[in-house]
Amino acid sequence: MLRIAPTFEVLRPETLDEVVNLLDQHGEAARLIAGGTDFVPNLKHGLYAPEVVIDLKGVSALRGIEHRPESLVFGALVGLHEMETDTRVHAVLPSLSRAASLVAGPQQRRMGTLGGNLCLDTRCVYINQTEFWRGALGGCLKKDGDVCHVTVTGKKCVAAASNDTAPVLISLGATVELLSPRGVRHLPVDELYINDGIRNLALGHDEVLTRVFVPRPGPQRRMGFEKLRTRGAIDFPLLNCALAFDLDEAENLSEPVLIFSAVAARPRSISQLPVGRLDAALIAEFGQRAFASVRPLTNINADVDWRREMVPHLVSRAFEAALGRASATPFSLSNAR
């Protein structure tokens, strides 16, 4: 059994002012914890060595979902289970509700939070291991070493983003609110991520993500989300895909957005998407555009060629979800053959 070494102090602020003051005081020696479903395993694996852990659970200002005429506003501590089961969220933002429902398993969703999922650390088969395992390999660029075992000669970490809510929020044009001693700033979710597996968040060490603003979609907007994983639950994505588009009464598709993740350190937007009458040929063209752009690496423990072959299938299923025809069966290795 892996244990947490008691080498840090846990602080439990109750207000955002306290959180900001603690971050300002302790700098990079401090780390934030929300639900802890990813943070605690990483502590046990020796990936983090904080001097101070700031527990956010007591900060009531980070909770709640606000339904405004122009947007939905989520506190960073809103639970994934709450997003999954809230009927009003599902009615307005079905792809976000679906993404939340496909994170890990029921226990993790009852503990995990939206802010925690957005700030999830990148993952790689060569680092998310025990300290003993990593030591035998000599470490890697992200921790204790100077070699990327994925690219072999590369000097840039290619650990992959694995958060399921991020591609959806990018596809919906969402923004995050960040708070620091310098005040408040707002950032599109797409700009929250950097293509660097070591530190892929555009967050200062003294900033905390406080809220997420999602524009209320118009009546013609359709959206879908699909995820590929080894099993139908628990596992991190081998790939995930968020789709949004407008569809008029004549079934003409416009304003498409297609985002893939679990490929690189940040979600990837697929460019030059077609528009026109929605039919099987148009959906197939979306799949081919994605197939040409998405090139998985060996940073995830699954065959890269097989993962790439699944890209058009993920796109097709995302369209099914957007059109209200999604299968209730999660997409996994066992049923994707």
For the ranges 77-81, 148-152, 165-169, which has the lowest average pLDDT? 148-152
Q: What pLDDT, in 10s, does the model give residues 264-299?
A: 999 999 999 999 999 999 999 999 999 999 999 999
291 plus 251 within the same structural domain: yes
199 plus 304 within the same structural domain: no
148 plus 167 within the same structural domain: no
The total number of structural domains in the chain stands at: 3
Phi, psi of 197 (to 5 degrees): -65, -20
Q: What is the span of the domain harbouring residue 249?
A: 221-335
Contact predicate 28/50, CB 8 Å: no
Question: Which pairs count as long-range contacts for 195-199, CB under 8 Å and 24+ apart, including other chains?
Answer: 195/264, 195/265, 195/266, 196/156, 196/157, 196/265, 197/122, 197/124, 197/141, 197/142, 197/156, 197/157, 197/158, 197/159, 197/160, 197/264, 197/265, 197/299, 198/122, 198/141, 198/142, 198/157, 198/159
Q: Against a cut of 0.85, is the pTM above it?
A: yes
Q: What pLDDT sits at residue 330?
A: 61
Count of Cβ atoms closer than 10 Å to residue 2 Cβ? 11
82 plus 206 within the same structural domain: yes
321 plus 304 within the same structural domain: yes
Q: What pLDDT, in 10s, does the model give residues 112-143?
A: 999 999 999 999 999 999 999 999 999 999 99
Phi, psi of 83 (to 5 degrees): -65, -35
Q: What pLDDT sits at residue 5?
A: 74
> Does some domain include residue 320?
yes
As a whole number of angstroms, the distance between CA 104 and CA 308 comes to 22
Question: Mutual orientation of helices 280-293 and 311-322 as an angle, nearest 10°?
Answer: 130
Residues 6+ apart with CB under 8 A from 100: 80, 81, 83, 84, 109, 114, 164, 165
Q: pLDDT at residue 59 above 60?
A: yes
> Does some domain include residue 254?
yes
Contact predicate 240/167, CB 8 Å: yes
Strand bridging mode 52-55 / 30-33 = parallel
CATH of the domain at 80: 3.30.465.10
> Does some domain include residue 331?
yes
82 plus 171 within the same structural domain: yes
296 plus 275 within the same structural domain: yes
> Does some domain include residue 18?
no
Question: What mean pLDDT is reported for the chain?
Answer: 95
- Cα–Cα nearest to 262, from 227, 288, 306, 234: 227
The predicted model gives 187-206 an average pLDDT of 96
> Does some domain include residue 42?
no
CATH of the domain at 263: 3.30.390.50
134 plus 210 within the same structural domain: no
Q: What pLDDT sits at residue 3?
A: 83
178 plus 245 within the same structural domain: no
275 plus 207 within the same structural domain: no
Q: pLDDT at residue 336 above 60?
A: no
Q: What percent of the chain has pLDDT over 70?
A: 96
Residue with tokens 């992959």: 160
Q: What pLDDT, in 10s, does the model give residues 66-78?
A: 999 999 999 999 9
Q: pLDDT at residue 331 above 70?
A: no
pLDDT band at 163 (very low <50, low <70, confident <90, very high): very high
The predicted model gives 238-265 an average pLDDT of 98
197 plus 316 within the same structural domain: no
Q: What pLDDT sits at residue 325?
A: 82
181 plus 297 within the same structural domain: no
As a whole number of angstroms, the distance between CA 29 and CA 310 comes to 41
> Which DSSP helix (H) or strand (E) runs through 208?
strand 208-215
